[in-house]
Amino acid sequence: MSNADTGIARADLFPEIAPYATGMLALEAPHTMYWEESGRADGVPVVFVHGGPGAGATPTHRRFFDPSHYRIVVFDQRGSGRSTPLAELDGNSTAALVADMERLRVHRGIDKWVVFGGSWGSTLALAYAAAHPDRVLGLVLRGIFLCRRSEIDWFLYGMRTVYPEAWRKFVEGVPAAERGDLLGAYYRRLTDPDPAVHMPAARTWSIYEGACSTLLPSPETVATFGEDRKALGLARIEAHYFTHHVYAAEDDLIGKIDRIRHLPAVIVQGRYDMVCPIVTADELHRAWPEARYIVVPDAGHSAMEPGVRAQLVAATESFKTLR
């Protein structure tokens, strides 16, 4: 499934496009989910699964796919982005998000689709595929995250070994007595109904993640993560999942690989990904050697890192043979 296999050598994103259809899909109250389609209406369906949880999708995410070939489905997970209510935690769980994806597939009259997800999106993509393998044509996964306690502890405490400056800013707003449980301290603040309490916490959490997401400093990335809507959705929903929806060892997604082993898959991982360290992608690959595993030697976590971006586009190009 390499560029050599397809004769295609495209190193960057496709041009900007606008959706030809958008809508709001009613879920269980109080949730409604934003969705959109772009590209070729009769093309091969592909669904983009955003990260976070809670980050929401952007127009840039349409551009990983050739619009002359793919029917590009993008949606904001419940509580995220343009879905409503923003940052709503009630009824927000991995099982609910998997069910939402399946409801969207049926709603749009899609038989099977390619599933493309990075970071938390890789978690949800794997969970969806394991639940509905007969509805998946293939998987493109990036920056592997499996929502396990060790990964969350790394995010909260381990990243300070590489980004001590960003981590100090992350803990500055938490009294010293509470720093032994940063997740609990942040969760209390992020779920406080007073914006004067939850918004500073949300911005600090989100900016911390953004600052650690690229191999080289990216003020643009940090600024994006600091925007109020993105920060609130990302921080509050991440803290919610990290508190209530961690995968236990007996329910680990790697234990479900046999359900999807037959599906074509590409795993793209930045060597210096500090948000979702490569050890998790390596473990996934060892459990699933049939998947094509690409380590980008000069990249961090972000899908916008040049090497990661190029490999993701190459993966979607290689999947043009799927029907």
Residues that are catalytic: 119, 273, 301
Q: What is the DSSP string of 222-264?
A: HHHHTSHHHHHHHHHHHHHHHHH-PPPGGG-GGGGGGGTTTS-
Helix, strand, coil proportions of the chain in percent (round to 5)? Answer: 45, 15, 35
Q: Which residues contact 17 (CB under 8 A, 6 or more apart)?
A: 38, 39, 62, 63, 67
Beta strand 136-142 with 113-118 is parallel
With H, G, I as helix, E, B as strand and everything else as coil, classify residue 86: coil
Distance CA 14, CA 320 (A): 15
Give, in order, the Cα–Cα distances in Å from 322 to each of 45, 107, 114, 242: 10, 22, 9, 35
Q: Are 265 and 237 in contact (CB under 8 A)?
A: no
Beta strands in 12-148 (DSSP E): 21-26, 32-39, 44-49, 70-75, 113-118, 136-142
Using a 10 angstrom Cβ sphere, with 0-12 exposed, 13-18 middle and 19 or more buried, the burial of residue 164 is exposed
b/e per residue, 100-135, with b = 16+ CB within 10 A? Answer: bbeebbeebebebbbbbbbbbbbbbbbbbbbbbeeb
- For residue 21 the two structure tokens come to 């259809």
Distance CA 27, CA 42 (A): 26
Among 113, 90, 75, 81, which Cα is nearest to 31's? Answer: 90
Distance CA 82, CA 98 (A): 18
